């Protein structure tokens, strides 16, 4: 049986590795140009071809991946005058790996179904490192029929694939995960400031909590920057985190759930974004919150090393 032609829009930090592994899986791949030509040229050098617009790609592909910053861009890429729907053939499947607003996803899915185009949501867990290794986590929302079609392709870039239910299920679960992760980031940051101003070193917090029941993978990567000062420990920006916790608020409202903890986390990230920290990675929230408390966290780390 002939393999489907795969498209990929959004070959950035995560998308490049995903697209590379689709090529390794033996699929014909079409990518779309971007201001940053480096990952595009890399994939073209591996055998991918290039589309000028989503409309152009939709006319050439059977399955298209989206890996974009937010739902606004997803909507424009699908609905725009040169968007996917403008060029889609019947039966096209769009796999949206963006961390998106489920209310938008489900509205898009309904609209697309009326045009014989099908939505699958498959947001990602883990980091660009696992993307390059083909070992991401995929949380998939799809009908059983469409999941069966896309699973072999997703297997190219994911080490763990969970089919959670119908369309929208993946994006809902991803927001739950990011709500918890960004809440941890805010709590860890407050805890480090409290520790330093109370006379404890940042290293003490890391070394005592890490091996305990309170430790986890997110704790390790967060502390790898906050205490270890590794700037690349967790390549996920405050701007993206802020967007995600806003989507959490929308999801809570739609479900009729109070979200008081979420409001506090949203305000922390929103404040950091408002003062120009949006491009910094999430673990730098430890520095930002420390500064709000009159603490130089980098200096506190140095004192902890010498003390």
Indicate if 179 and 146 belong to the same structural domain. Answer: no
Would the pLDDT of 124 be above 70?
A: yes
Overall average pLDDT of the 86-99 stretch: 97
Indicate if 202 and 134 belong to the same structural domain. Answer: no
* pLDDT value of residue 185: 98
Would the pLDDT of 229 be above 70?
A: yes
Residues ≥6 apart with Cβ < 8 Å to 22: 6, 8, 29, 65, 153, 156, 157
Would the pLDDT of 29 be above 70?
A: yes
DSSP code, position 91:
T
Alpha-helical runs (H) found in the chain: 15-24, 37-45, 54-58, 71-79, 84-87, 102-113, 128-133, 144-157, 169-197, 202-209, 217-226, 238-255, 260-272, 285-292, 297-306
174 catalytic? Reply is yes
**pLDDT one-digit tens code per residue, 59-70:** 999 999 999 999
Assess if residue 1 is contained within a domain. no
Would the pLDDT of 19 be above 80?
A: yes
Indicate if 270 and 287 belong to the same structural domain. Answer: yes
Taking the C-alpha atoms of residue 249 and residue 51, their distance in angstroms, rounded to an integer, is 36
Please report which helix (H) or strand (E) contains residue 7, including its range: strand 6-9
* pLDDT value of residue 13: 86
Would the pLDDT of 167 be above 90?
A: yes
**pLDDT one-digit tens code per residue, 101-117:** 999 999 999 999 999 99
Indicate if 157 and 216 belong to the same structural domain. Answer: no
Indicate if 178 and 285 belong to the same structural domain. Answer: yes
Residue 258 belongs to domain spanning: 172-306
* pLDDT value of residue 293: 97
Indicate if 182 and 155 belong to the same structural domain. Answer: no
- CATH, residue 46: 3.40.50.720
Overall average pLDDT of the 297-303 stretch: 97
Catalytic: which of 20, 172, 174, 277?
A: 174
Indicate if 147 and 180 belong to the same structural domain. Answer: no
How many Å is the Cα radius of gyration of the chain? 21
Pick from 138, 166, 194: which residue ends a domain?
A: 166
Three-state SS for 161-184 is EEEEECCCHHHHHHHHHHHHHHHH
CA-based nearest residue to 58, from 92, 33, 18, 12:
92
* Residue 225 confidence class, pLDDT cut points 50, 70, 90: very high
Indicate if 129 and 177 belong to the same structural domain. Answer: no
Indicate if 143 and 178 belong to the same structural domain. Answer: no
172 neighbors 102 (Cβ within 8 angstroms): yes
Joined tokens for residue 176 = 């739950």
CA-based nearest residue to 95, from 109, 107, 81:
109
Indicate if 176 and 239 belong to the same structural domain. Answer: yes
Assess if residue 98 is contained within a domain. yes
* pLDDT value of residue 35: 78
* Residue 1 confidence class, pLDDT cut points 50, 70, 90: low
Share of the chain above pLDDT 70, in %: 99
* pLDDT value of residue 295: 97
- CATH, residue 257: 1.10.1040.10
* pLDDT value of residue 7: 98
**pLDDT one-digit tens code per residue, 283-297:** 999 999 999 999 999
Assess if residue 65 is contained within a domain. yes
Pick from 166, 197, 213: which residue ends a domain?
A: 166
The domain total for the chain is 2
What's the mean per-residue pLDDT of the chain? Answer: 96
Would the pLDDT of 307 be above 90?
A: no
Indicate if 127 and 212 belong to the same structural domain. Answer: no
HSE at residue 126, side-chain half, CA atoms within 13 A, is: 20
Pick from 134, 166, 198: which residue ends a domain?
A: 166
């Amino acid at each position: 049986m002939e393999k489907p032609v795969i498209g990929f829009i959004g070959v950035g930090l995560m998308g490049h590795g995903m697209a590379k592994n689709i090529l390794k899986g033996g699929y014909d791949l079409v990518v779309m140009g971007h201001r940053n030509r480096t990952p595009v040229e890399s994939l073209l050098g591996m055998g991918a071809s290039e589309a000028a617009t989503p409309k152009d790609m939709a006319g050439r592909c059977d399955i298209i991946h989206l890996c974009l910053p937010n739902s606004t861009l997803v909507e424009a890429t699908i609905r725009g005058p040169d968007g996917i729907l403008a060029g889609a053939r019947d039966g096209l499947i769009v796999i949206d790996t963006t961390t998106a607003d489920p209310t938008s996803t489900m509205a898009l899915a309904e609209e697309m179904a009326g045009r014989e185009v099908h939505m699958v949501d498959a947001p990602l867990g883990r980091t660009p490192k696992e993307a390059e290794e083909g070992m991401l986590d995929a949380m998939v929302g799809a009908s059983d029929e469409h999941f069966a079609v896309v699973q072999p392709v997703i297997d190219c870039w994911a080490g763990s694939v969970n089919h959670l239910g119908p369309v929208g299920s993946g994006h809902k679960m991803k927001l739950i995960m990011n709500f918890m992760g960004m809440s941890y980031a805010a709590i860890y940051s407050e805890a480090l400031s409290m520790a330093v101003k109370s006379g404890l070193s940042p290293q003490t917090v890391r070394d005592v909590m890490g091996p305990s029941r309170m430790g986890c993978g997110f704790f390790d990567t967060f502390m790898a920057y906050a205490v270890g000062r590794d700037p690349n420990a967790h390549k996920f920006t405050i701007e993206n985190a802020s967007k995600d916790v806003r989507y959490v608020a929308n999801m809570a409202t739609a479900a009729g759930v109070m979200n008081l903890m979420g409001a506090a986390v949203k305000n922390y990230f929103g404040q950091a974004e408002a003062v120009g920290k949006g491009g910094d990675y999430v673990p730098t929230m430890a520095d930002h919150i420390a500064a709000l408390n009159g603490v130089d966290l980098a200096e506190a780390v140095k004192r902890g090393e010498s003390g």
